[in-house]
Chain A
């Protein structure tokens, strides 16, 4: 009995082992083998070294260097083995058309269009009802996703926590007094009580700049908003809401580090440069009898970047 004959019927093509297609591509296989062997030996050494480095908790660069060198040497050796020592070929394979015969296509189309279509056409009412049910489900199925994920915006984007009489405090919660800032200084302030909250830091943040010792009017209608040279602007850039954190004292501008929008402090924070479309909203201030800086009211417009409902 012969297994061999069962496995390889006569029509199967074989190839003699000395056929040029099976020869290595390298002109000098012995040398190639030596080089690849060296790569593998180096790979083994470095991979082992990686294990050792990891075990003794060596510095990260040593762990990475040994791992990287080990993998690279093993990889280079393996690629070289495939490229220089394995059968050089070239070998070919036929592409068979993926498209089927017209008969097969028609049968498939008929199954869908005729067999399926007829079923629906004959029972139009049922088809309509099923369609309506699926359609409604498709819409309401979004509700659990959408309505659970978060609240509706409502008017929350329109206002901040500044109110009439709110004290301006710094990040530590200390109320700012009129004598605290020298001319030319800046501090980030929050409505008292919000300085440690997410909303206080993300929405209510306001820059307080002292530009002189005299009452300062940035524009018409804001005559009493800048008592004793104190000006307060929302710190949220009107472009994309980054904190407008850079104050250039000589030019009297606030610069947003994200996209370089520049706002003129003396001019109601009118944008002078960059992509910001609107001035930073100004917070009307007053100094109370004890010398504390307080807000006259909230900002007169929504702070931060634009959105559809912003009127």
Chain B
């Protein structure tokens, strides 16, 4: 009798089947969960390659960094506005009466190993997060990626931006330092400015008249649990829809409305995107290491009757602060009631209009274009001059308001009077969007006429022995090589190359 006993390495491997022990594990998993089909489809999922598609990834990975560093911070932060006497390692504060929130934030910066780095990483990645969302949103807008069937994902993204801004403000307020405390005071007054319901909402939110008793613990639970929880769910929905509806792509060779051309999820996209997570984390860590952000020990603890010069909010709130600064002091006061238009319009109506316009844009555009088709190919912005011009116009409005939030700093820096800066800003905020629209429209039209769109090929110029100059096209870029091949389905398996030498079976017959 003779049986095959696998006793060489190769034979043992072969006995396990062509996919080895990993294959075995996958088989066992498939027996129980039926993952093979869906799993493979996911591995084969195609991601189109374009640099602008990574902007959303920056936002996603900043969110991951926010969660990780945020968890670290919650271990040391104490959400309490009870007053304690500071006895830490930062000498200028020793002996002062400060809130526990402030004391614990200073302590986690100086006394906890790695604490300052984590806090700075948290703050930096928040700024990167909101910035990346805005730039990602601009990409989606200008390329028309929000069109049918992706309107819902556009709305989810906008909601994420709104929540990111709100949560950024809440987190910024938690250390209870002088500058953030002033920010809370302003936020309270903005809520108060809502007609009819303002005072009630403010009292419920803060547990009474400013400063109330409950701000810090309430802001804390909103900041670390409720809003991040909602955001996590929305990020999941955002990515689920991305997978379900598949990514958009720019038009190009072999690309149609009915396919996706690019790299497969595994391993190419996974390698690139994981590497990108590391890079985003690395850059955040480098920023946190070398660029100080929000040194609250220099600002001092919040006291309601103190204030400092150049009080400005974090980046993403600046446009609102700018609007508050330059809006005139028009107020309504009659019939026994006051409507503080000087606050209500710039701080509530205006952002409501901007965000409302963004939410409504896919609908607005469909009404104007009467285009009800499904779109998977992206627009080049120059081919949609009206949309591009509208986007640039609103974007420029926000940019002007951003600078308007520094009127006092600008006046000081350029040694001009505050009044002149204010008037200049009021003029700019009106004319910049008005000028941006026609200028952008015209630029788009000119570019269309120029029939651009293909990268110019570099030439190599050589001089012959006779002194004659000859220009020959230079070798193509690595990126351009792609276009030489036709796109094909991801193969189900990879066979050995035909010229590989066939090897023996690797089993040995053993006589018993």
Residues of chain A touching chain B, judged by Cβ–Cβ distance below 8 Å, are 3-4, 7-8, 12-22, 25-27, 54, 57, 60-65, 67-84, 86-95, 98, 146, 149-153, 156-157, 171, 188, 198-199, 201-203, 205, 235, 239-243, 245-246, 257-261, 271, 273-278, 304-311
Chain B residue nearest to A6 in the complex (CB):
B17
Which single residue of chain A is at the shortest CB-CB distance from B478?
A: A25
Q: Contact at B481–A25, with CB atoms within 8 Å? A: yes
Interface residue? B276 (CB, 8 A): yes
User: Complex Cα distance A62/B285, Å?
Assistant: 10
Cβ 8 A contact of A68, one of B18, B189, B284, B495? B284
B286 touches A203 (CB 8 A): no
17 example contacts (A-B, Cβ-Cβ < 8 A) are as follows A12-B493, A14-B493, A64-B285, A68-B285, A74-B282, A76-B279, A82-B268, A83-B272, A89-B487, A91-B46, A91-B490, A98-B244, A153-B202, A240-B189, A240-B190, A257-B408, A258-B307
Shortest beta-carbon distance, A61 to chain B, in Å? Answer: 5
**B261 at interface by CB-CB < 8 Å:** yes
Of the listed stretches B130-138, B252-260, B454-462, chain A binds B252-260
* Complex interface residues of chain B between 319 and 366 (CB less than 8 A to chain A): 321, 324-331, 333, 336-340, 342-343
Contact residue among A8, A157, A245, A271 (Cβ-Cβ distance under 8 Å from B307):
A245
Contact A64 B343 (CB under 8 A): no
Known A-B contacts A7-B18, A75-B282; A308 and B269 likewise in contact (beta carbons under 8 Å): no
Contact B275 A203 (CB under 8 A): no
Q: Which 3 A-B pairs have the closest CB atoms?
A: A64-B289, A75-B278, A78-B275
Which B residues, 215 to 272, have Cβ-Cβ distances below 8 Å to chain A?
A: 244-246, 254, 257-264, 267-272
Q: How far is the CB of A92 from chain B (nearest CB, A)?
A: 4
Residue of A nearest to B324 (CB): A259
Pick the contact of B186: A87, A153, A240 (CB < 8 A). A240
* Alpha-carbon gap, A171 to B114, bound state (A): 37
- The answer to whether A92 and B261 touch (CB under 8 A), given A25-B478, A60-B289, A241-B189, is yes
Q: Count how many chain B residues have C-beta atoms less than 8 Å from C-beta atoms of the other chain.
A: 126
Give every chain B residue within 8 A of A275 (Cβ-Cβ). Answer: 324-329, 342
A171 to B96, CA, bound (A): 14
With A72-B286, A152-B200, A307-B198 known to touch, is A239 a contact of B342 (CB < 8 Å)?
A: yes
- Which residues of chain B have C-beta atoms less than 8 A from A15's C-beta? 488, 491, 493-495
- Of A18, A83, A171, A305, the contact of B192 (CB 8 Å cutoff): A305
What A residues does B197 contact at CB under 8 A? 308
- Residue B419 lies at the interface, judged by CB distance under 8 Å to chain A: yes
Give residues in B with beta carbon < 8 Å to A: 17-19, 44-46, 113-114, 116-117, 120-121, 149, 182, 185-186, 188-190, 192-200, 202-214, 244-246, 254, 257-264, 267-272, 274-290, 303-311, 321, 324-331, 333, 336-340, 342-343, 376, 407-408, 418-419, 422, 478, 481-482, 485, 487-500
In the bound assembly, the distance between CA atoms of A153 and B236 in angstroms comes to 40
CB distance from B279 to the nearest CB of A (A): 4
Q: How far is the CA of A240 from the CA of B339 in the complex (A)?
A: 13
Per a CB cutoff under 8 Å, which of A54, A64, A151, A307 touches B193?
A: A307
Query: How far apart are B257's CB and chain A's nearest CB, in angstroms?
Result: 8
Select which of B213, B275, B305 is within 8 A of A188 by beta carbon.
B305
Task: Give min CB distance, B496 to chain A, whole Å.
Answer: 6
Given A79-B279, A242-B186, A260-B418, do A16 and B114 touch, yes or no (CB 8 Å)? no
What separation, in Å, do the CA atoms of A19 and B307 have in the docked complex?
Answer: 69
List 20 additional A-B contacts (Cβ < 8 Å) besides A3-B18, A240-B343.
Answer: A14-B492, A17-B496, A54-B113, A60-B116, A63-B114, A89-B263, A90-B482, A93-B44, A93-B490, A98-B244, A150-B207, A156-B208, A203-B209, A240-B324, A241-B189, A275-B325, A278-B331, A305-B193, A306-B193, A307-B199
Q: Are A306 and B278 within 8 A (Cβ)? A: no
Closest to A65 in B: B289
Question: How near does chain A come to B457, taking the closest CB pair, in angstroms?
Answer: 17
- Given A95-B260, A258-B186, check contact A90 B487 (CB 8 Å): yes
B237 to chain A, nearest CB (A): 16
A258 with B271, Cβ < 8 A, contacts A150-B207, A151-B208, A242-B186 known: no
Contact of A257 (CB < 8 Å), options: B188, B212, B305, B309:
B309
**Residues from chain B with Cβ under 8 Å of A62 in the complex:** 289
Beta-carbon contact of A306 and B338 below 8 Å: yes
* Count of A-B contacts judged by CB separation below 8 Å: 357
> A91 touching B487 by the CB < 8 A rule?
yes
The reply to whether B481 and A88 form a contact with Cβ atoms under 8 Å apart is: yes
Residues of chain A with a CB closer than 8 A to B310's CB: 257
Which residue on chain B has the smallest CB distance to residue A201? Answer: B304
In whole Å, how far is A305's beta carbon from the nearest beta carbon of chain B? 4
Residues of B within 8 A of A278 (CB): 331
Q: With contacts A86-B268, A93-B260, A309-B199 known, is A21 near B281, CB below 8 A?
A: no
Would you call B492 and A12 a contact (CB within 8 A)?
yes
Q: Which residues of B contact A14 (CB under 8 A)?
A: 491-495
Separation of A309 and B197 alpha carbons in the complex (Å): 10
Q: Which residue of A lies closest to B196 (CB)?
A: A308
Contact indicator A277/B199 (Cβ below 8 Å): no
- Are B18 and A4 in touch, CB under 8 angstroms? yes
A98 and B193 contacting across the interface, CB-CB below 8 Å: no
**Cβ contact of A311, chosen from B271, B337, B490, B494, cutoff 8 A:** B337
A149 pairs with B307, CB closer than 8 A: no
Given contacts A77-B275, A81-B271, A90-B254, contact A95 B338 (CB under 8 A): no
Q: Which residues of B contact A19 (CB under 8 A)?
A: 491
Given A75-B275, A78-B278, A93:B259 Cβ within 8 A: yes
Q: Which B residues lie within 8 Å of A86 (CB)?
A: 263, 267-268, 271
Q: Which of B205, B306, B478 contacts A84 (CB 8 A)?
A: B478
Please name all residues of chain B whose beta carbon is closer than 8 Å to the beta carbon of A188 when the two chains form the complex.
305
Determine whether the beta carbon of B289 is less than 8 Å from that of A241. no
Given contacts A92-B487, A95-B376, contact A64 B278 (CB under 8 A): no
Name the residue on A nearest B418 (C-beta).
A260
- Is there contact, CB below 8 Å, between B282 and A70? yes
Shortest beta-carbon distance from A97 to chain B in Å: 8
Contacts of B268 in A (CB 8 A): 82, 86-87, 89
Within the assembled complex, what's the spacing in Å between the Cα atoms of A68 and B278? 9
**A308 contact set on B, CB distance < 8 A:** 194-199, 337-339
When the two chains form their complex, are residues A243 and B307 in contact, meaning their CB atoms are under 8 A apart?
A: yes
Most chain A CB neighbours (cut-off 10 Å) among B149, B246, B285: B285
